[in-house]
Amino acid sequence: MTERPRQFILAREGWVHVAVAVAVAAIVQWLAGWLWALPLWLLCLFVVQFFRDPPRRIPQAARAVICPADGRVIAVDEVRDPYLDRTARRVSIFMNVFNVHANRIPVSGAIEGRWYHPGSFVNAALDKASRDNERNALLIRTDEGSEVVVVQVAGLIARRILCYVQEGVRVQRGERYGFIRFGSRVDVYLPAACEVRVALGDRVAGGRDILGFLPQ
């Protein structure tokens, strides 16, 4: 099993990027002065905000499905689940470059499937991104028997999906399990009888807000 990263305010996926940005800005300031270095320091601020990873208070409501990512809800519909071949409620969340990009487990249970699909890198806000883009999907079965599929989808400039859990392990709701660099989307396929609590256009926070409730 791949080791999962510890929780830090700055995601460890960004440590190297932040270090390089700071080093380049500092060298330019030393050699050429602060005016030349100012754009690079602004770039440092952007890199730091992109890789921020604040702790979240996880909701403890029974049967709750929590948001796996920060962003804007761009789809709430009934579709055919491409992974389990069933009718499902789909909730899609688009992450722009200013959102937190750490991904969190929506429900507690066991990972019973993992699928990786190479693909293209069209704008993640487009619906065809769910079927055409590079993506990584997890099937989580809860102790009550509900099946939830959560899919990391690469975006227009995203070039790496990171997932730290493997098939066969148990996961906890709200647990940090992955990261996508830079700008992306997460799709959640829920049982058709699931009660969805978010609407198109809502702004949501991963690990904090509730997407809906699983059927009893």
In a domain, 180, yes or no: yes
In a domain, 7, yes or no: no
Residues 23 and 79 in one domain: no
Find, among 43, 12, 11, 13, the residue nearest to 25 by Cα. 43
Work out the average pLDDT over 44-67: 86
Domain that holds residue 24: 12-50
Give yes or no for a contact between 158 and 183, defined as CB atoms under 8 angstroms apart. yes
> What's the mean pLDDT when you consider all of the chain?
86
Give 14 or 108, the one with higher predicted confidence.
108
Residues 70 and 31 in one domain: no
Whether the pLDDT of residue 91 is over 90: the answer is yes
In a domain, 1, yes or no: no
SS (H, E, C) 97-140: CCCCCEEECCCCEEEEEEEEECCECCCCCCCCHHHHECEEEEEE
Q: What is the residue type of 161?
A: I
Residues 39 and 75 in one domain: no
130 as an active site residue: the answer is no
Q: Is the pTM of this model over 0.85?
A: no
In a domain, 59, yes or no: no
> Per-residue confidence at 64, pLDDT binned at 50, 70, 90?
very high
Residues 154 and 83 in one domain: yes
Q: How many domains does the chain have?
A: 2
In a domain, 27, yes or no: yes
Residues 189 and 112 in one domain: yes
- Which listed residue (92, 130, 146, 184) is catalytic? 184
